[in-house]
Amino acid sequence: MVKQSKLDHGLFLLTVTLLAWAIPGGGHFIIKERRRALIIFVTITATFLVGLYVGSVGVIDPVGAWPWYIPQMMTTPAVGFLGHLTKTQGYQSFGKPNDIGQIYTSIAGMMNMLCVISAVYMAYCGRGEIIGEEDA
């Protein structure tokens, strides 16, 4: 078994972190936890999409609802694009659908943050390996 240097291990953890944030379940996928990655992807994506379906894209409001926008951004960086879209195009959502949509999309973000932490911890403990590397 080849020992990784501290720099290589740090870069690996950074890669896991960024991939887990960019694509829900991506961090677990890169450490070869494929079933877990699929479950995370489906759960977080479905929760986020239900929130968008109920409240429209207007629930992502970086100006008027910034306390909700912070956990929404934890879902994926693509939320930043949606936030820019709602700000420039003037999409709005009001009433109970807005509240429910904000709750669902924010919960999806907070769940993804827990999954990012889980993936990084598993990678730090050596539970996963970089895809493509073979055990010698």
What SS3 state is found at 31?
coil
User: For residue range 16-54, what is the model confidence (pLDDT) as tens digits?
Assistant: 999 999 999 999 999 989 999 999 999 999 999 999 999
pTM for the full predicted model: 0.82
The answer to whether 48 and 104 are in contact (CB under 8 A) is: yes
C-alpha to C-alpha distances, 62 to 31, 57, 58, 68, 104, nearest whole angstrom: 33, 12, 10, 8, 16
pLDDT value at 135 more than 60: no
Is residue 136 very low, low, confident or very high in pLDDT (cuts 50, 70, 90)? very low
Q: What is the DSSP letter of 25?
A: T
